[in-house]
């Protein structure tokens, strides 16, 4: 079974909104053994949508669309699909009851525009949208399926998880591929050097096994993929062989964000962490508690953007700040020790650097970041040069800090 | 002039990577008066890339591709383009010199795979990639252009800004559209109610003027667009009329993130802010200092994820925590006052809520968030119910906090 995604909305094509839906949907489809062939973003325009539908149906068995289902005039997806499948709109009693229940305490929302949301194409199967008013519609064309979902990410995610994937699952029992992706994460080696090291390995790979290199924020993800050609056992054997070849630079052998990996180790051991952040400004904290369950290991942070906060809250020594500057080994280790002591944690991470675009000096150009790791036994700091762009510098600094912590946890 | 983007890479189609490039490029193209018609994501596969190129050229005058330019085997874009334009690879002396300079202090990277990066199609114009080894290639087909750029976001951004846009600019002097987007941000009204209020306005809009509704994180962006049909003055008149109709729910009349708007007001006035965050866990801090220049107004934060930190660092009263719980008006106002006092700022924002998925109670279900705003004169808190999903709850909480601050700043 092959799928395509069509995301509908002018906002995507003028750059007002980043399409985060497609990647999330792609991952879910792959987990279900469905290959995603193409993602296409089109305007809220009848001809454009119809052309994209025709092209997608010519290549794929399953077409998922998101967007264009709001009650306002700019949203036309429902009407276009209704005409495309030669149907007409009828009132759906279930959808009506659901919308009335959804907004029972907000009578202002139950207006005549919202009421149009319970008109749906007669030919469509309707799945429940538990958290919104836009109907989830399934259309059949010969043996092919089209599912139309709202573009609001959390509505789409709940719809996919609770309704669409179980629905598709029933339809494709016999046409599922065994799609396997297995990923290693490595750091401290250039992509090209890694590729040279793995040349023999790549030469020896059988047809149907693919290796991809994905560098990001100083970590390279090495992904082995098979679309139905290899068994789980064969994949495992190849994966272990690959792992043996990169052992010295290996960070992780699962495709989880590093904050999830350190979080689960800490939680399992009953240990805790805090951060003291200057240049990363809360980004590292937000990463550590991004995922559910973080209160088991994450206690808090002091974001010490100004030197005043470094001194007053983290008790960084005034002399160190004057003598070495905020971006220094002396200050960043004091920040780590300070926050570890104040928040009573087992570990602490601290960052201090020049995120840019201004603030660089010949000595400490933009991208210079000191990162400290404090453990129950010791504290140390390392200096990195992480690029020129603010976002890149702070993202990479978070990854470097997590890699430092992970190394300590593995010792 | 009409453009299309083709993003190339298996990682996009298995959901390992979110395509953030396209939105950024779309915005830049629009600023240049170039309409972006479609975005297509395809696999690292020769046939797939060729089909996408054919389709894109059938609709557009300018095709931008990203991705597939690394030195490793999985990256095939350069070879496919070389064949597509019936050319062959030759060594480019400028690219070679540039790569040698780029890696002069990293001899391990100057290996034979990296050396393949200075082989480029003979028929292509080569633009400089200041920060990476992948060449930026421009191909001509009749009157149409194709530009191939690396997929690494910061390399693409520098290439677009410094090389590609100026290059395109020269080519399209006479075919530029006057694309105008103007956006209002409103909050505190349902999308459907807003649309009913604006029905007469929409009815009266001339051909060529478009209105779109973009709800996100509790804020609705109302975008007026014109692709060459209206003059700047006409657009301004319509925009002012629209603004008059939503004055009571208006948050901002520019399409900037709220953190940028509050930041520039604070910086201009020489005032400062700090945050004390529980459920948002650093996300609000990271937003406030995401953009360059934030040290002018942002001093720091205390991320008080655990109650211990709330008590010890923020001096929240133990009795309040015991009696009302952490998610309460009493605690969140003390958090805001505490951080404002400790960090000596003019303003402070505090958040305390149940981000979920666990931790909800009948009294305080998942999504309940108290937000406090402390100013030089007063402190107050408001309770919100912000949904069910962790990410949604914390994102919306940040927006609510910024809206609260913005209201105070405007008073």
* Per-residue pLDDT of chain A in tens (411 residues, 90 and over written 9): 899 999 999 999 999 899 999 999 999 998 888 899 999 999 999 999 999 999 999 999 999 999 999 999 899 999 999 999 999 999 999 999 999 998 888 888 889 999 999 999 999 999 999 888 999 999 998 889 999 999 999 899 999 999 999 998 887 766 667 889 999 999 999 999 999 999 999 999 999 899 999 888 889 999 999 988 899 999 999 999 999 999 999 999 999 999 999 999 999 999 999 999 999 999 999 999 999 999 999 999 999 999 999 999 999 999 999 999 999 999 999 999 999 999 999 999 999 999 988 889 999 999 999 999 999 999 999 999 998 889 889 999 999 999 999 999 998
Rounded CA-CA distance B212/B226 in Å is 11
Are A17 and A162 in the same domain?
yes
Contact B346, B360 (CB under 8 A): no
* Residues in CB range of B369: below 8 A, 6 or more apart: B279, B327, B351, B352, B353, B354, B383, B384, B385, B386, B393, B396, B397, B400
The DSSP annotation for A104-168 comes to TT-TTTSSHHHHGGGEEETTSEEE--TTSSSPEEEEEETTEEEEEE-SSHHHHHHHIIIIIHHHH
Q: Strands (DSSP E) along A278-385, which ranges?
A: 298-304, 347-353, 368-374, 379-385
> Which residue range is the domain that position B185 belongs to?
179-252
Distance (Å) from the alpha carbon of B209 to chain A's nearest alpha carbon: 12
Mutant choice from B301, B326, B401 vs A, greatest count of A C-beta within 10 A: B301
Contact A3, A60 (CB under 8 A): yes
Model pLDDT, residue B368: 97
Does A38 sit within 8 Å of B13, measured CB to CB?
A: yes
Model pLDDT, residue B77: 98
Please report residues of B whose CB lies closer than 8 A to that of A357: 292
Model pLDDT, residue B280: 97
Distance (Å) from the alpha carbon of A33 to chain B's nearest alpha carbon: 11
Distance (Å) from the alpha carbon of B88 to chain A's nearest alpha carbon: 23
* Residues in CB range of B275: below 8 A, 6 or more apart: A303, B284, B285, B288, B301, B302, B339, B348, B349, B350, B351, B401
**Of the candidates A149, A171, A193, which is a domain's last residue?**
A171
For chain B, the farthest-separated pair of C-alpha atoms sits apart, in whole angstroms, at: 77
Rounded CA-CA distance A372/B356 in Å is 31
Distance (Å) from the alpha carbon of B378 to chain A's nearest alpha carbon: 23
Are B190 and B210 in the same domain?
yes
Closest CA to B347 of B307, B282, B301, B303: B301
Does A111 sit within 8 Å of B196, measured CB to CB?
A: yes
DSSP B208: T
Rounded CA-CA distance B275/B283 in Å is 10
Contact A355, B293 (CB under 8 A): no
Mutant choice from A50, A100, A192, A197 vs B, greatest count of B C-beta within 10 A: A192
Are B35 and B158 in the same domain?
yes
Mutant choice from B3, B14, B33, B343 vs A, greatest count of A C-beta within 10 A: B14
Rounded CA-CA distance B136/B155 in Å is 10
B244: domain CATH number is 3.30.70.2860
Quick one: how far is CA B153 from the chain centroid? 12
Closest CA to A311 of B342, B293, B347: B342
Distance (Å) from the alpha carbon of A122 to chain B's nearest alpha carbon: 24
Please report residues of B whose CB lies closer than 8 A to that of A316: none
Compare CB distances from B109 to A10, A40, A190 and report the shortest one's residue: A190
Model pLDDT, residue B31: 84
A&B contacts, CB < 8 Å: 345
Does B20 sit within 8 Å of A18, measured CB to CB?
A: yes
Give φ, ψ of A7 to 5 degrees: -100, 130
Compare CB distances from A109 to B192, B255, B344 and report the shortest one's residue: B192
**Of the candidates B252, B284, B303, which is a domain's last residue?**
B252
A165: domain CATH number is 3.40.980.10
Does A292 sit within 8 Å of B390, measured CB to CB?
A: yes
Q: State the Cα angle at A15 between A10 and A16, rounded to 5°.
A: 75
Model pLDDT, residue B216: 86
Name the 3-class secondary structure at B268: helix
Compare CB distances from B74 to A183, A211, A308 and report the shortest one's residue: A211
Closest CA to A44 of A8, A72, A81, A12: A8
Would you write out chain B's pLDDT as a tens digit for each of its 411 residues?
899 999 999 999 999 899 999 999 999 998 888 899 999 999 999 999 999 999 999 999 999 999 999 999 899 999 999 999 999 999 999 999 999 998 888 888 889 999 999 999 999 999 999 888 999 999 998 889 999 999 989 899 999 999 999 998 887 766 667 889 999 999 999 999 999 999 999 999 999 899 999 888 889 999 999 988 899 999 999 999 999 999 999 999 999 999 999 999 999 999 999 999 999 999 999 999 999 999 999 999 999 999 999 999 999 999 999 999 999 999 999 999 999 999 999 999 999 999 988 889 999 999 999 999 999 999 999 999 998 889 889 999 999 999 999 999 998
Number of domains in chain A: 3
Rounded CA-CA distance B267/A372 in Å is 31
Compare CB distances from B12 to A39, A48, A190 and report the shortest one's residue: A39
Are A222 and A354 in the same domain?
no
Contact B378, B363 (CB under 8 A): no
Nearest chain A Cα to B34, which residue? Answer: A14
Are B16 and B148 in the same domain?
yes
Does B26 sit within 8 Å of A15, measured CB to CB?
A: yes
Please report residues of A whose CB lies closer than 8 A to that of B313: 300, 302, 313, 342-343
**HEC assignment per residue over A237-276:** HHHHHHHHHCHHHEEECCCCCHHHHHHHHHHHHCCCEEEE
DSSP3 helix / strand / coil % (chain A, rounded to 5)? 40, 25, 35
Contact A139, A123 (CB under 8 A): yes
Mutant choice from A47, A112, A289 vs B, greatest count of B C-beta within 10 A: A289
Compare CB distances from B14 to A30, A114, A392 and report the shortest one's residue: A30
pTM of the model: 0.87
Are A273 and A401 in the same domain?
yes
For chain A, the farthest-separated pair of C-alpha atoms sits apart, in whole angstroms, at: 77
Are B241 and B296 in the same domain?
no
Rounded CA-CA distance B178/B30 in Å is 9
DSSP-derived pairing of the beta strands B2-8 and B35-42: parallel
Are A326 and A311 in the same domain?
yes
Average confidence score pLDDT of chain B: 94
Are B246 and B191 in the same domain?
yes
Are A229 and A324 in the same domain?
no
Q: A404: which 2 tokens? A: 């430092």
**C-alpha pair distances (Å), A43 with each of A6, A152, A237, B351:** 10, 16, 46, 38
Are B270 and B394 in the same domain?
yes
Does A14 sit within 8 Å of B389, measured CB to CB?
A: no
The DSSP annotation for A70-99 comes to SSSTT--HHHHHHHHTT--EEE-HHHHHHH
Nearest chain B Cα to A313, which residue? Answer: B342
Model pLDDT, residue B175: 62
Are B372 and B308 in the same domain?
yes
**Of the candidates B197, B228, B252, which is a domain's last residue?**
B252
Q: State the Cα angle at B178 between B174 and B182, rounded to 5°.
A: 160
């Amino acid at each position: 079974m092959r799928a395509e995604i069509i995301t509908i909305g002018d906002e995507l094509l003028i750059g007002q909104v980043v399409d985060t839906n497609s990647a999330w949907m792609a991952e879910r489809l792959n987990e279900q053994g469905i290959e995603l062939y193409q993602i296409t973003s089109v305007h809220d325009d009848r001809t454009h949508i119809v052309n994209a539908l025709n092209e997608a149906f010519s290549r794929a068995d399953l077409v998922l669309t998101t967007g264009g289902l709001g009650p306002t005039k700019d949203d036309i997806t429902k009407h276009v699909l209704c005409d495309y499948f030669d149907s007409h709109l009828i009132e759906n009693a279930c959808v009506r009851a659901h919308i009335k229940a959804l907004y029972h305490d907000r009578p202002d929302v139950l207006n005549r525009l919202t009421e149009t949301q319970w008109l749906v194409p007669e030919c469509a199967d309707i799945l429940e949208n538990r958290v919104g008013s836009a109907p989830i519609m399934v259309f059949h064309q010969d043996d092919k399926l089209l599912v139309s979902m709202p573009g609001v990410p959390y509505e789409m995610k709940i719809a996919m998880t609770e309704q669409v994937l179980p629905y598709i699952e029933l339809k494709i029992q016999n046409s599922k591929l065994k799609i396997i992706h297995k990923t290693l994460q490595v750091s401290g080696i250039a992509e090209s050097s890694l590729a040279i090291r793995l040349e023999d390995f790549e030469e020896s790979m059988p047809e149907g096994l693919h290796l991809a290199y994905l560098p990001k924020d100083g970590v390279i993800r090495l992904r082995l993929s098979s679309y139905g050609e290899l068994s789980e056992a064969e994949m495992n054997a190849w994966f272990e062989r690959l792992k043996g070849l990169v052992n010295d630079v290996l960070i992780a052998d699962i495709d989880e964000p590093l904050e999830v990996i350190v979080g689960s180790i800490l939680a399992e051991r009953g240990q805790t962490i805090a951060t003291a952040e200057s240049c990363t400004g809360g980004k590292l904290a937000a990463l550590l508690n991004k995922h559910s369950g973080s209160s088991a290991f994450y206690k808090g942070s002091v974001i010490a953007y100004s030197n005043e906060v470094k001194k007053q809250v983290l008790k960084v020594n005034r002399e160190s700040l004057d003598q070495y500057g905020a971006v220094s080994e002396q200050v960043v280790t004091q920040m780590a020790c300070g926050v570890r002591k104040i928040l009573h944690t087992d570990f602490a991470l601290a960052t201090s650097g020049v995120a840019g675009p201004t603030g660089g000096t010949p000595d400490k150009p933009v991208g210079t970041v000191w990162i400290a790791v404090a453990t129950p036994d010791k504290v140390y700091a390392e200096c990195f040069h992480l690029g020129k762009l603010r976002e890149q510098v702070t993202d990479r600094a978070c990854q470097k800090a997590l890699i430092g912590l992970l190394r300590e946890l593995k010792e």
